[in-house]
Amino acid sequence: METARSALSRPPAALFSSRSLLVTVLRLVALALIDAFAIWFVTRLIHDGEYLLAIFVALITLAINVAFLFEGMYPYRWFAPGLTLLILMIIYPTIFTLYVAFTNYKDGNLLTRVQAQDVLLSRTYLPQDAKTYSWTAFRSLEDPNHWALWLIPTDGEGEALFAEPGKAIPQSEIDLGEYALDEDGIPTGLPGWERVPFAKTIAILDSVLSKIEFGTADQKFMLNPKNPTKQAGRFERKYTLNDDGTLYDNETGVTYKAIQGTYTPVDGPYKNAQGQVTDAEGQPLPVIRPGYYVPVGLDNFKRLIENDKIRGPFIRVFLWTFAHAFFTVFITFWFGLFLALLLNVKFTPGRAVLRTLLLVPYAMPAFISVLVWKGLLNEQLGVINKFLTSLPFIDTGPRWTSSALWVKVAILLIQLWLGFPYMMLITTGALQSLPGDIYEAARVDGANAFQQFRHLTLPMLLVAVGPLLIASFAFNFNNFTIVELFNKGGPPISPDQPAGHSDILITYTYELAFGSGRGADYGFASTITLVIFLIVALITVFNFRFTRSWEEISENV
């Protein structure tokens, strides 16, 4: 009887099989949806010329299918979302940045070839002898966002047209139904359409009507940009793509050829003595935008090395970058360690209150602190200079922003204010974790306080906080906020140099790539970023090897 009851209490095998079948079906349906979206997305990317991202998306989709279809890959199903985000948000941008360093990716060349051609081929123009029309707006009663125009030739020749996106119907083919034409030849209404008073169309003229293309591809009508309130015209395509990849301007008769992704005039009805394509007045024609980015090999690296205005201050900027990171870590570490040692002594009064107050700079946003210090160090109105000049033996205060030396001192002073609380925190934790018995043994052997600190505390402390010091060095190597907000890298080294005395590599890169007034040059910025990465990587490897000596010292303690 007991055996029968236990058998009845167990779920039947069919229940398990049906549940397993349901899970399998749901899994396959989810994969099918993912695959369908991935196929559509990859197709769009390939059409737009985004081949690198298309490859990444295809590989990720393939990996997801493998993980969910094969039982041996079951553990990887739980990692699939995280790995997908890791690849798309970290690995792909890193590889794309590396690729951009070898291209001319910049303002004017931000699109792929297909995208740039689509933009240019969609442009239209109104020929000088083209017929113009007066227009009246109509709105669909079924869809308020669907608009049409009643077009009447301004020269009075030809019949009127009713044009909506995708259609252009002559007046003779339109059934007015219960409506009639007014004295201007405009219908008072149309079946399914509402005539919109001119006063109401003014409000949506620029935001809606001017952006709509009415009619068909062969008979396209738009509001005339030169006189949108009164005229519409039959626009034609401005550019034609030739079989050899060149663009022909139907309006001017000029042929443009893509040279390093930028469409440059190479032939036309007018040329000067130098062979340049010009307009009727003899002025050279500019290139047309947008262009597209193409690989340029090592051109960005050659520009970094061969351009005197860039190469000249590069070494000086690099040395100050290294000194800035080193001295920032050095002074903040020692000052933070001094405060940690002071507050670690039990007889120091109010230790908890002092620690809390000393953490205030760390709690404040850096950009606010920098702006406060910028005001304090103002050469004319700053509190610090006013105090110094009030002393009888000081005539003028330091030139915190106009002197090459004092601006660096000011930056290090701000870094000290912002950085010592962090160093105090990590060294306090490290000090409290040191074993006390070795100090008792050292005192028995006759070691004084300085010797204990020199041979016991400091080596063991450096082992504990060494990786954090290296990370702090790498962070300050690229600390853009402090330098840019305080003085924008100034004062300038010379009038014809883009670099300033307080520029570090990251602010110098920003100035070269984005602050030169020629637009954003992402390719060149990626090149310098790659150089900075290699420099920081080498320094970090050296520092990690240096920390091994600290570990060996701690092992002998």
pLDDT tens for residues 155-164? 888 889 999 9
- Mean pLDDT of the region 405-431: 92
Q: Which pLDDT belongs to residue 490? A: 85
Please list the helix, strand and coil fractions of the chain in percent, rounded to the nearest 5, in that order.
55, 15, 30
| Stronger pLDDT, 346 or 134, i.e. the higher one | 134
- Nearest C-alpha neighbor of 293 from the set 90, 520, 42: 520
List the helix and strand counts (H, then E) for the chain.
Answer: 20, 13
Q: How far does the chain reach from its first CA to its final CA, in angstroms? A: 74
Beta bridge partners of 510: none
* pLDDT digits 0-9 by tens, 308-357: 777 778 888 888 998 999 999 999 999 999 998 888 877 778 777 888 88
What's the pLDDT tens digit per position in 248-267? 999 889 999 999 999 999 99
Task: Say whether pLDDT at 512 is over 60.
Answer: yes
pTM above 0.95, yes or no: no
CATH of domain 305-555: 1.10.3720.10
Q: How confident is the model at residue 2 (pLDDT cuts 50, 70, 90)?
A: very low
How many other CB atoms sit within 10 Å of the CB of residue 139?
18
Q: Of residues 110 and 8, which shows the higher confidence score?
A: 110
Compute the chain's Rg from CA coordinates.
Answer: 36
Give the percent of the chain with pLDDT over 70.
93
Measured in whole angstroms, the distance separating CA 508 from the mean position of its chain's CA atoms is 18
Residue 101 to residue 297: CA distance in whole angstroms: 9
The helix (H) or strand (E) run that includes residue 149 is strand 147-153
- For the ranges 99-108, 137-146, 224-233, the lowest mean pLDDT is seen at 224-233
C-alpha triplet 19, 23, 24: angle, nearest 5°: 115
The dihedral over CA atoms of 499, 503, 506, 511, expressed in degrees to the nearest 10, equals -30
Q: Where in the chain is the domain with CATH 1.10.3720.10?
A: 305-555
One-character DSSP codes across 163-178: EEBTEEEEGGG---TT
Q: Strand 193-195 and strand 214-215: pairing?
A: unpaired
Token pair belonging to 478: 């690229």
Euclidean distance between CA atoms 424 and 356, whole angstroms: 11
pLDDT of residue 513: 76
Query: Residue 16: is its pLDDT beyond 50?
Result: no
For the CA atoms of 518, 523, 529, 533, the dihedral, rounded to the nearest 10 degrees, stands at -170
Look at residue 336 in the predicted model and tell me its pLDDT. Answer: 92
The tokens describing 57, both together, are 């998306």
Confidence of residue 228 (pLDDT cuts 50, 70, 90): confident
Cα separation of 328 and 418, whole Å?
A: 10
pLDDT at 75: 78
Give the pLDDT confidence of 266-297 residue by residue, as tens digits: 998 888 888 888 888 888 899 999 999 999 99
Confidence band for 524, pLDDT divided at 50, 70 and 90: confident
Taking the CB of residue 316, how many other CB atoms lie within 10 A of it? Answer: 15
**CATH fold group of domain 15-100:** Methane Monooxygenase Hydroxylase; Chain G, domain 1 (1.20.58)
pLDDT of 274 reads 81
CB-CB contact of 375 with 485 (8 Å): no
In the prediction, which pLDDT does 396 show?
84
**Portions of the chain given CATH number 3.10.650:** 110-123+239-297
pLDDT at 13 over 70: no
User: Beta-carbon neighbour count of residue 262 at 10 Å?
Assistant: 20
d(C-alpha 184, C-alpha 129), whole Å: 25
Count of C-beta atoms within a 10 Å radius of residue 127: 12
Phi, psi at 136, each rounded to 5°: -135, 135
Q: Specify the DSSP element, H or E, that contains 162.
A: strand 161-164
Give the Cβ contact number of residue 445 at 10 Å: 8
Contact in structure between 547 and 470 (CB atoms under 8 Å): yes
pLDDT band at 14 (very low <50, low <70, confident <90, very high): very low
The answer to whether the Cα torsion of 159, 164, 167, 172 is positive or negative is negative
Give pLDDT, residue 85. 86
Which fold, 110-123+239-297?
Answer: MalF N-terminal region-like (3.10.650)
Least confident of 31-45, 146-160, 427-441, 511-525: 511-525
- Which pLDDT value is given to residue 9? 47
CB-neighbour burial class of residue 85 (10 A; exposed 0-12, middle 13-18, buried 19+):
exposed
- Write the CA distances from 60 to 56, 57, 97, integer angstroms: 6, 5, 20
Over the range 174-209, which residues count as b (16 or more CB within 10 Å of their CB) and which as e?
eeeeeeeeeeeeebeebeebebbeeeebeeeeeeeb
Q: What is the dihedral of CA 13, 16, 19, 25, to 10 degrees?
A: -80
How far apart are the C-alpha atoms of 400 and 142, rounded to whole Å? 68
Could you tell me where in the chain the CATH 1.20.58.370 domains are found?
A: 15-100
| pLDDT at residue 55 in the model | 92
Indicate the average pLDDT of the chain.
85
DSSP result, 209-258: GGGPPEE-SSSEEEE-TTSTTT-EEEEEESEEE-TTS-EEETTT--EEEE
Between 7-16, 290-299, 445-454, 506-515, the lowest mean confidence (pLDDT) is in: 7-16
